[in-house]
Amino acid sequence: MEKIGFIGLGRMGKPMAANLARKGFALVVLDLNPVAVGELVELGASAGSSVAQIARDCSIVVTMLPSSVEVEALALGADGIFVNAKPGSVLLDMSTIDPLATDRLQAEAVKHGLSVVDAPVGRLAEHADRGESLFMVGASNADFARVRPLLDAMGTTVYHCGGVGSGGRTKLVNNYVAVTLCQVNAEALALSQRFGLDITKTLQVLYGTSANNGQLRMNFPNKVLAGDTSPGFTIDLAHKDMSLIVTAAHAARVPMPVAAAVHESFSLARASDYGGIDFSGIADVICDLARIDKPRTPAGWMVGQA
Ligand code: NAD
């Protein structure tokens, strides 16, 4: 059985690694946070001593790190993954990073006889907890087949989008829509609150028309509308993704004025110390700015109820 290294046990990486451990994969884990490592050891994983040791011992190394900075540092560092990995090994990066960084990683990997698969993760953190994530994968056919058992153990839906780099590019397209929907919902709910409308009636109407959307349906009811703004997916990470999206759009000469506006709205939220809350909490940010009561549904209210 291939030994799997897993680096980055945060809000997403921890449940993903846990699903691998529970399903019997031979796992070696690493994170700056020893508590997260301890939780994986309880599930049968072994604690890695360093990036170098994981790269030497594991033929597939998964990274689930915040951004391109961390992934490039760990992969390309002087005692990092690429200089230590055995030829034929695969870096399976599941973080959301700059696709140009993925291209650079792949070019460097080839020089070491290695390869890269980019497989960023769709859906919410709660889906990762339940092993119900969606993965969009950029890989050669052979590497896709090799990592597929891992993806099937962590999620329910896997799309092979094309060659290396196509997973991350698909993810940017997806997150442009998801983060922008948060912003649009936030503005709409603030207006509803200002009008003094019954929030449950407003939601009923939105859920019943073409105004309905995935964020309003899947994320808002359990998070900001229920008064739970613990992340989930932080405003900081949503801002990072909007930065990637705006930069990619500039480079590709695609005009995305709405993306630029949403990016700056999330900049404003971070400047007001909201960076660590769930991205649905952008609704609270807009309401705070306008001195409007935050949108909250009554305790126990469920989607579809009056
Ligand atoms: P997180 O901040 O909760 O976790 C990142 C983890 O990486 C932390 O545990 C941190 O200690 C660890 N880490 C950072 N630098 C490290 C290093 N040098 N060595 C070892 N460990 C290191 O972030 P997250 O929410 O788990 O997101 C991870 C990635 O997945 C991001 O790129 C994010 O955009 C993407 N993503 C997140 C969600 C979500 O809902 N949270 C959904 C899809 C995709």
Binding site membership of 237 for ligand 1 (Cβ less than 6 Å):
yes
Closest residue to atom 7 of ligand 1, CA basis = 8
pLDDT of residue 1: 78
Ligand 1 mean position to 72 CA, how many Å? 14
Residue 35 has pLDDT above 70, yes or no: yes
Whether residue 115 is found in the same domain as residue 149: yes
33 lines ligand 1 (CB under 6 A): yes
Which residues is 47 bridged to in the sheet? 29
Domain boundary among 110, 129, 163: 163
204 and 125 belong to one structural domain: no
Q: Which of 29, 237, 245 is the pocket-test mutation for ligand 1 (most atoms within 8 Å of CB)? A: 237
Q: Minimal CA–CA distance to 105: which of 84, 144, 76?
A: 76
Q: What is the CATH number of the domain that holds 117?
A: 3.40.50.720
Locate all alpha helices (DSSP H) within the chain, ordered by sequence. 13-22, 34-42, 51-57, 68-76, 81-84, 99-111, 125-129, 141-154, 166-195, 199-207, 214, 235-252, 257-271, 282-289
111-148 per-position pLDDT tens digit: 999 999 999 999 999 999 999 999 999 999 999 999 99
Quote the number of domains for the chain.
2
Q: Work out the angle between the directed axes of helices 99-111 and 166-195 (0-180°, nearest 10).
A: 160
Domain range for 277: 170-290
Q: Once rounded to an integer, what is the mean pLDDT over residues 278-294?
A: 98
Q: What is the mean pLDDT of the chain?
A: 97
Pocket test for ligand 1, best of 31, 63, 132, 133 (most atoms within 8 A of CB): 31
Active site annotation includes 14: no
CATH code of 220's domain? 1.10.1040.10
Q: Are residues 69 and 133 in the same domain?
A: yes
Is there a domain that residue 60 lies in? yes
pLDDT tens for each residue of 144-185: 999 999 999 999 999 999 999 999 999 999 999 999 999 999
pLDDT at 29 over 60: yes
233: Cβ below 6 Å to ligand 1?
A: yes
In a 13 Å sphere around the CA of 244, the CA atoms on its Cβ side amount to 28
What pLDDT is stored for residue 304 in this prediction?
60
The pairing of beta strand 121-122 with beta strand 133-138: antiparallel
Given the CA of residue 51, which atom of ligand 1 is nearest to it?
Answer: 19
pLDDT, position 302: 79
What mean pLDDT do residues 208-221 have? Answer: 96
